[in-house]
Amino acid sequence: MTTELKHIKPTQYALGLHTTTRELGLAISNFAGETRSKVWDLDRELSSHLHQYLVEFIKPQTWADLALIAVAKGPGGFTGTRIGVVTARTLGQQLGIPVFAISTLAAVAWSQIPPNPPYKGGDQVIAVQMPAQRGEVFGAIYQPTPDASELNVLLLDTVMTPEAWQEKLASWNTDYQVIEAKSGLAATVTSVLQLAHLDWQRGQRPNWSEALPFYGQHPVQM
């Protein structure tokens, strides 16, 4: 049975946040032709300047225009990831709108999908790897549907040794493309927003309390 897709009103907008690195990425869209995004290198000033940048960025829209919020949930830096998720949860709670927590690695994978339909790569498998602390790596494997309406997760975000990751790839029984997520990740905030919108279209409405960060590792070595 085909699921009837929902659509937000052209007067409503979705807001995306990406704070898992030293950069801040923001995006806003009504998915009806009006989309804008911007990235700032804030480093340690992220926590003290995030609200200011948010307020300025959404103009001329207002908080009341938002229908949903999307946030990169990690993996990434501990402090930045926490700040982004807490901000998204707070906004979602105050505005009474759903909050979608999207994997940083999933956003990287989605950014590799050609933007113009029809998409003809339903058999394309994308493996994303990202450096983690203490010499480990984060890894995940995804596959977009043939019509690019969904990103299927073949391997959930996992932290492992580089050797274990290479063994996982070597044992994979289909062709795949490896993407290394090292820099410029905040620019994938548009992908975070798009993935959230796809879930929203399929009827998902996650409560703000369901948006949880994914750290993968404890910030302090035990």
Higher local confidence (pLDDT), 221 or 61: 61
Grade residue 36 by pLDDT with cuts at 50, 70 and 90.
very high
pLDDT in tens, 38-51: 999 988 888 889 99
Q: Is 167 helix (H, G, I), strand (E, B) or coil?
A: helix
Q: Which two tokens stand for residue 20?
A: 């898992």
Q: Is the peptide bond before 213 cis (omega within 30 degrees of 0)?
A: no
Position 60 scores a pLDDT of: 96
Q: For the chain, where are the alpha helices, taking DSSP H only?
A: 46-58, 78-95, 104-110, 162-170, 189-201
Same domain, 94 and 137: no
pLDDT in tens, 5-33: 677 888 899 999 999 999 999 999 999 98
Same domain, 187 and 171: no
Same domain, 80 and 165: no
Same domain, 20 and 89: yes
CB 106 within 8 A of CB 51: no
Position 199 scores a pLDDT of: 95
Point out which residues pair with 180 in neighbouring strands.
129
Same domain, 190 and 125: no
Instruction: Reply yes or no on whether the pLDDT at 220 is more than 50.
Output: no
Expressed as residue numbers, the domain containing 205 is 13-106+183-210
pLDDT in tens, 143-188: 998 888 899 999 999 999 999 999 999 999 888 999 999 888 999 9
- Mean pLDDT of all residues in the chain? 90
Instruction: Reply yes or no on whether the pLDDT at 68 is more than 50.
Output: yes
Instruction: Reply yes or no on whether the pLDDT at 72 is more than 60.
Output: yes
Q: Is 90 helix (H, G, I), strand (E, B) or coil?
A: helix
In this prediction the pTM is: 0.91
Number of domains in the chain: 2
Residue 113 placed within a domain = no
CATH of the domain at 139: 3.30.420.200
Position 216 scores a pLDDT of: 76
CATH of the domain at 196: 3.30.420.40
Residue 98 placed within a domain = yes
Interacting residues of 190 by C-beta distance below 8 A, sequence separation 6+: 16, 27, 29, 35, 37, 111
Instruction: Reply yes or no on whether the pLDDT at 218 is more than 90.
Output: no
Residue 1 placed within a domain = no
Q: Which two tokens stand for residue 115?
A: 């933007």
pLDDT in tens, 142-154: 999 888 889 999 9
What DSSP string runs through 197-209? HHHHHTT----GG
